[in-house]
Amino acid sequence: MFNWIEDMANMGARRAGSKAGHMCEEYLFEKLTGFGLDSVKKEAIPVESWECSNHSFDVFTGNDYQNIAAQWIPYCAFTPDEGIEAELVYADPSRFIQGGSWKGKIVVTDICFPKLDVQLLRKFSFGFFDPDNNMDSIDHPATWVRKNWHFYKKAFQKGAVGFIGILKDQPGGSCRMYAPYGFKEKNILDKPLPGFWVSRNDGDFLRDAARKGFKARMKLEGTREPGVTHNVFGSIPGKKDEAVVIHCHHDSPFMSPVEDASGCSVILAVAEYLSRKKDLDRTVVVLFTAGHFYGSIGTRQFIEQHRVDIVPKVALEITVEHIAKEALEDKDGNLVESGEPEGTGIFIPFNQDMIDAVMTNLKENEVKRVFLLPPEGPLGDYPPTDGGDWYEAGIPLVNIISNPVYLLNEEDDFHWVHKDRLPRMAGFITDLIKESEKIEKETIARVEFRGLKRKMKVIKNLARARTTKLGTRPVY
């Protein structure tokens, strides 16, 4: 399984429409074909391929320009060839009203992450498997939620020419983050200003420079052109006219062994095993979706394109993402391994049969540090996974995800993959598929805890309010 991860990660950044992305699609297609799956296909999805070829950010300190390490924000506008030179201005998140003119300036602000509320997750979970009793020690921000990103849109509305976001709460101090990428954005391509992320380590300098109105230079060059990406899928036939979908997205922000070559390796392992056994009651659809980092377009397109032939047959959808080690900061602010797997959320249906099936197989496969969570609640309208749209489509799901703090960053490297957890997770999913065959399709979909479901809607709105600034939702 780790060899598969190495194969995919060494292709490079597998972004939608990229050369590495196409290599990964072909790799997965050949794997499924080699396993002997039926009707293996690649289905094309049009996208806009966006690639940066050159970028820089420099601040004038009075005598000369000082270069600041910066990471481009995906799908934002490019600068003219000569770049942009403009005065900095600070957007203070603590102020209700932002004074002064932003016209023709580069806006600097702090991008913050809310705390991952483990106690809230525990309180409203269906249960947890934490045999070492250490999940309460999880202490890091929810780095997929970016507070104050609304200043980007405000900067454009007020006539600014550029945007700089200081990643104030990023553990480890990296600026090399690939986000936002379309998940819960109305339009991933609607980014009319050139923009960069910068490290918290440069935060004090930049805030001071912006308050003093220092000048800065931005250059962001690249290409944006029509492209194509592909969903890859095949099937392992069963006896019934029903199906289980097992799924992971195949695209990535950087080399990203964890995000999400690790998830793909689990699905490949399950597919290879089940294709040899050939003793399924329900057909298993093995699905690798495109464009998670393009607004989860692959999952949405697959559901729409197969609304007649596949979706009505699906009794259960299973998504797995990120087989990861937990990272902590040491006394010097560097990321180090905690020695534990990253805490994992598993989103499951509102009924006891599925709770029992999931919990039993977690324990048998020793997949620990797990919360069983409702499919909607504190973390949103549907699971924050690439499979979440199946819940919106009315399909019961088991979605497995962990979110280590380096997940969206270039720092995601091979040593962060939790090797021991790979076969455990593959065993859990395989056993869950077999266990779910004993449960009728209607039973899997049954909502037993209607009161809890209503409570989750209330909690969802309260949680959203906690991460909202003046009525503006954060971007995920």
Question: CB under 8 Å, gap of 24 or more: what pairs does 58-67 form?
Answer: 58/216, 58/217, 59/88, 59/205, 59/206, 59/209, 59/214, 59/215, 59/216, 60/214, 60/215, 60/216, 60/217, 61/209, 61/214, 65/217
Kindly state whether residues 15 and 108 are assigned to the same domain: no
Q: Centre a 10 Å sphere on the Cβ of residue 122 and count the other Cβ atoms it contains.
A: 14
Identify whether the C-beta of residue 246 lies closer than 8 Å to the C-beta of residue 286. Answer: yes
253 and 378: one domain? yes
Using one digit for the tens of pLDDT, what is the confidence trace for 369-412?
999 999 887 667 888 899 999 999 999 999 999 999 999 999 99
Both 157 and 296 in one domain: the answer is: no
pLDDT, tens digit (0-9, with 9 covering 90-100), for 416-464: 999 999 999 999 999 999 999 999 999 999 988 767 677 776 666 666 6
- Given this model, what pLDDT does residue 473 score? 53
**Contact between 365 and 427 (Cβ < 8 Å):** yes
Both structure tokens of 5: 């991860």
- How large a percentage of the chain has pLDDT more than 70? 94
Mean pLDDT in residue range 204-221 = 96
469 in a structural domain: no
CATH of the domain at 85: 3.50.30.30
Domain check: are 277 and 397 in the same one?
yes
Same domain, 12 and 133: no
The pTM of the full predicted model, rounded to 2 decimals, is 0.92
Q: Per the domain annotation, does 69 fall within a domain?
A: yes
Residue 468 forms part of a structural domain: no
Q: Which residues, at least 6 apart from 463, have a Cβ–Cβ distance to it below 8 Å?
A: 117, 120, 377, 378, 379
Q: How confident is the model at residue 239 (pLDDT cuts 50, 70, 90)?
A: very high
Q: What rounded mean pLDDT belongs to the chain? A: 92
pLDDT-based confidence at residue 186 (cuts at 50, 70, 90): confident
Q: Are 397 and 319 in contact (CB under 8 A)?
A: yes
Is 475 a member of any domain? no
pLDDT for the residue 476? 54
Give the tokens for residue 116. Answer: 């991952």
Residue 474 lies in a domain: no
Q: Per the domain annotation, does 473 fall within a domain? A: no
Tell me if 425 sits within 8 A of 319, measured CB to CB.
Answer: no
Contacts of 206 (CB under 8 A, 6+ apart): 59, 68, 88, 108, 164, 166, 198
Among 289, 210, 407, 221, CA closest to 47: 289
Number of domains in the chain: 2
Cα angle: 240, vertex 393, 17; to 5 degrees? 100
Residue 324's closest CA among 341, 310, 347, 312?
Answer: 341
Claim to verify: residue 285 and residue 373 sit in the same structural domain: yes
CA–CA distance from 195 to each of 172, 226, 430 (Å)? 21, 22, 44
Do residues 366 and 358 lie in contact, with contact meaning Cβ atoms separated by under 8 Å? no
CATH code assigned at 237: 3.40.630.10
Whether residue 242 is predicted with pLDDT greater than 50 in this model: the reply is yes
205, 225, 245 - which closes a domain: 225
pLDDT at 304: 96
At residue 136, what are phi and psi to the nearest 5 degrees?
Answer: -70, -10
**Structural domain of residue 416, as residue ranges?**
2-49+226-463
Do 183 and 321 sit in the same domain of this protein? no
Residues 458 and 416 in one domain: yes
Q: Is residue 470 part of a domain?
A: no
Residues 387 and 256 in one domain: yes
Give me the numbers of helices (H) and strands (E) for the chain, helices first please: 12, 17
Residue where a domain terminates, one of 225, 241, 263:
225
**Residue that is last in its domain, among 200, 225, 250:** 225
Q: Which positions ≥6 away from 410 have C-beta within 8 Å?
A: 71, 174, 176, 178, 253, 254, 255
Clarify whether residues 325 and 447 are in a common domain.
yes
Q: Span 128-151, mean pLDDT?
A: 90
State the maximum Cα–Cα separation within the chain, in Å, rounded to a whole number. 76
Residues 450 and 304 in one domain: yes
- Whether residues 411 and 359 share a domain: the answer is yes
State the number of CA atoms in the 13 A half-sphere of 310 facing the CB. 23
Residue 352 lies in a domain: yes
